[in-house]
Amino acid sequence: MPSSHVLDAQPMLAYLTNPDQPSIRQTNFTQIGANIHPTVPPPCVIQVGPAPTSVQLFTQQALCDEGGKWFGPNASNPSAPSFPSCCALKNAFPATYGENGSDPLGIVPDSQKAVRNDFYKMVQIDQPNCAAQPVNDVYPDVKLVELYQIDEAVPVPQLDKEGTALCADTLADGVYTQNCPGKLATQQQLTNFNALSSTLVAILKSEVSCAGDGNLDKVVNQQDINNWTLFSQNTLSTSSWYDFAHDGTTGNSDLQIIQANLGKRCVPKR
């Protein structure tokens, strides 16, 4: 990585060489989200524990069929039900999922972020609101927050398992209920919630947005145009490098973003 790119990293060797090594970091951060696609994949229902869960990750039916049930266009069975999104599928079966069970259909969040210290973990979930009006088959997200008490006890650590949250915002039938931090029982829980909230905001703001900078050197210049040219001519034609427009390809719209920002220098926050 170029030196201008902010890296939030610490060495791990001490943990591997010293079983009694105390925490090197005050907090840990993680995030997950969907990749960029030219078109959003159709829903695929997989079994996660006892409940069926819809995901929009698999671009091909064959990938979903390895343990899941496909609800996209089906060339071998054109009459099979097809839905553009997990929410559309869920709305078609509002009480129960499909013909094989009575469990409500779960939906994998569009993205999740979490930050933890030694004793508490805060999770932030972007959950699609299936009761809202979609735009181009995309349902708006509602941000939900959860707080858990955790530890690193051996051999069974306390983790952020479902049903164990100290407080958890909810979204049911389009109704959002904010329970965090209002449902916390102690001042210690509230103090940790506020500290983790501030840490999460600081982490998310730590990397400066730099539209048109594809090689992460914090400068938009001729090198970005050269790199765009290379990836835009990729024979697969589906490169997502330099895909500033987030449409799944490296195309003219991305070049326009580079040209509009030529000469821009983005100063990282340290």
pLDDT, tens only, 67-109: 899 999 998 888 888 999 999 999 988 766 655 556 688 999 9
State residue 150's pLDDT score: 97
State residue 42's pLDDT score: 94
Residues 193 and 215 in one domain: no
For residue 90, give the H/E element and its range: helix 86-92
Confidence of residue 207 (pLDDT cuts 50, 70, 90): confident
Is-contact 46 91, C-beta < 8 A? no
User: What domain count does the chain have?
Assistant: 3
pLDDT at 114 over 90: yes
Alpha carbon 22 to chain centroid, angstroms: 30
Residues 158 and 256 in one domain: no
For residue 141, tell me if it sits in a domain. Answer: yes
For residue 58, what are the domain limits?
Answer: 44-107
For residue 5, tell me if it sits in a domain. Answer: no
The closest of 253, 204, 162, 160 to 29, measured between CA atoms, is: 204
Residues 169 and 224 in one domain: no
pLDDT at 49 over 80: no
Residues 236 and 123 in one domain: no
If you average pLDDT over every residue of the chain, what do you get?
A: 89
- How many Cβ atoms from other residues are within 10 Å of residue 67's Cβ? 9
Confidence of residue 270 (pLDDT cuts 50, 70, 90): low
Instruction: Report which of residues 15 and 238 the model is more confident about.
Output: 15
For residue 175, tell me if it sits in a domain. Answer: yes
pLDDT at 48 over 90: no
For residue 36, tell me if it sits in a domain. Answer: no
CA angle 81, 85, 88 (to 5 degrees): 70
- Sequence-ordered list of residues with C-beta below 8 angstroms from that of 234, at least 6 positions apart, any chain: 250
For residue 53, give the H/E element and its range: strand 51-55
Residues 118 and 189 in one domain: yes
